[in-house]
């Protein structure tokens, strides 16, 4: 992107307010965003390349405002069909999503719609790589670090109860994705967000004792609609649920691998799908009504 306005990382400066640290400039400590830097409609994506590819869909990519932070977050703000939208490079895991949700919305006045576009490991054997899964709910898998193998009542992993996506935002997202892509490419399911990529997604290896041989079976026995593994959606939906009505959230993810069959999606196909699905996601964000009053 040429001729774009890039705000470079700021020096740490003085931190004020221990409960919500801000730099002396007023920028949030990790995302580095100030009042006016983030729109009410936000698309959170995992990696930098994806964000850049999607930002090219803005009405005037050359006038995109970019804020880069010293903590690897980047925020692109522009308009899509005339509506202001921010795309945020979120990185991986629930700790990063926690920074994104709290700091990106800190200065935003009024309600917020936030959608995540990730990649994912599909759990349903009949869903081919490239399937896009819209989360109707998410649950979180965490390792039980106190697990005692000699205690037959103990489980090495724990699965939380589900949290719901915002039903209106999720339904609009599902219908936009289905009309952009062929219907069988888009599915709805229960997202399984995991604490880690290796142990908590049941990946085998000899170097560490992860007690995860039965992990996928454990998840599927406890959640018949478990559809895919990834690492951020639960935190987005959980914080939105606790945002006192301010944040409406939904999420979708492109199946990069099918964990049951081993089928993988070539990166070129992933990049094409990212762009096509982003047209649907940006339309969803642009058209979603944020007029509802904030309720407590």
Helical H runs in 112-166? none
Q: How many residues bind ligand R1P (CB under 6 A)?
A: 10
- E-strand ranges in the chain read 5-7, 41-45, 65-68, 74-80, 83-89, 112-122, 132-143, 157-159, 163-164, 186-194, 226-230, 247-258
Residue 92 CB, nearest approach to ligand R1P (Å): 3
Comparing CB distances to ligand R1P, the nearer of 27 and 254 is: 254
Residue 95 CB, nearest approach to ligand R1P (Å): 11
Residue list 72-111, contact with ligand R1P (CB under 6 A): 92
Q: Does 197 bind ligand R1P (CB under 6 A)?
A: yes
Residue nearest to ligand R1P (CB): 46
Comparing CB distances to ligand R1P, the nearer of 46 and 189 is: 46
The tokens for 106 are 């800190």
Comparing CB distances to ligand R1P, the nearer of 24 and 272 is: 272
Comparing CB distances to ligand R1P, the nearer of 46 and 202 is: 46
* CB-CB contact of 169 with 124 (8 Å): no
Q: How far apart are CA 154 and CA 75, in angstroms?
A: 43
Residue list 28-47, contact with ligand R1P (CB under 6 A): 45-47
Residue 193 CB, nearest approach to ligand R1P (Å): 8
Q: How far apart are CA 296 and CA 280, in angstroms?
A: 31
Write down how long the chain is: 296
Tell which residue, 145, 113, 137, 125, has the closest CA to residue 39. Answer: 113
Contact with ligand R1P (CB under 6 A) among 28, 111, 119, 284? 119
Contact with ligand R1P (CB under 6 A) among 22, 94, 231, 237? 231
Question: Parallel, antiparallel, or unpaired for β 186-194 and 132-143?
Answer: parallel
Q: How far apart are CA 62 and CA 3, in angstroms?
A: 6
- Judged by CB under 6 A, which stretch of 34-42, 72-80, 211-219, 229-237 contacts ligand R1P? 229-237
Q: How far apart are CA 73 and CA 208, in angstroms?
A: 31
Q: Does 202 bind ligand R1P (CB under 6 A)?
A: no
Contact with ligand R1P (CB under 6 A) among 232, 240, 251, 265? 232
Q: Does 166 bind ligand R1P (CB under 6 A)?
A: no
Residues engaged in binding ligand R1P (CB under 6 A) = 45-47, 92, 118-119, 197, 230-232
């Amino acid at each position: 992107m040429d001729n774009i306005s890039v705000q470079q990382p700021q020096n740490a400066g003085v931190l004020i307010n221990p409960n919500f640290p801000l730099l002396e400039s007023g920028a949030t400590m990790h995302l580095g965003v100030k009042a006016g830097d983030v729109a009410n409609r936000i698309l959170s994506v995992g990696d930098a390349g994806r964000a850049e590819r999607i930002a090219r869909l803005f009405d005037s990519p050359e006038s995109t405002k970019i804020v880069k932070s010293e903590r690897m977050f980047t925020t692109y703000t522009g308009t899509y069909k005339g509506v202001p939208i921010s795309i945020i490079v979120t990185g991986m895991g629930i700790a990063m999503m926690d920074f994104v949700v709290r700091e990106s919305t800190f200065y935003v006045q009024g309600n917020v719609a936030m959608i995540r576009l990730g990649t994912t490991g599909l759990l349903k054997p009949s869903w081919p790589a490239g399937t896009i899964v819209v989360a109707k709910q998410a649950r979180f898998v965490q390792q039980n670090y106190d697990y005692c193998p000699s205690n037959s009542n103990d489980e090495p992993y724990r699965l939380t109860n589900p949290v719901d996506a915002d039903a209106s935002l999720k339904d609009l997202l599902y219908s936009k994705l289905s009309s952009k892509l062929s219907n069988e490419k888009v599915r709805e399911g229960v997202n399984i967000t995991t604490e880690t990529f290796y142990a908590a997604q049941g990946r085998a290896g000899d170097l560490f004792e992860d007690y995860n041989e039965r992990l996928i079976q454990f998840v599927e026995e406890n959640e018949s609609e478990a559809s895919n593994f990834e690492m951020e959606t639960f935190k987005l939906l959980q914080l939105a649920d606790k945002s006192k009505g301010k944040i409406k959230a939904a999420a979708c993810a492109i199946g990069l691998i099918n964990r049951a069959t081993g089928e993988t999606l070539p990166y070129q196909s992933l990049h094409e799908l990212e762009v096509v699905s982003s047209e649907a996601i940006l339309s969803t964000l642009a058209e979603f009504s944020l007029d509802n009053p904030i309720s407590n």
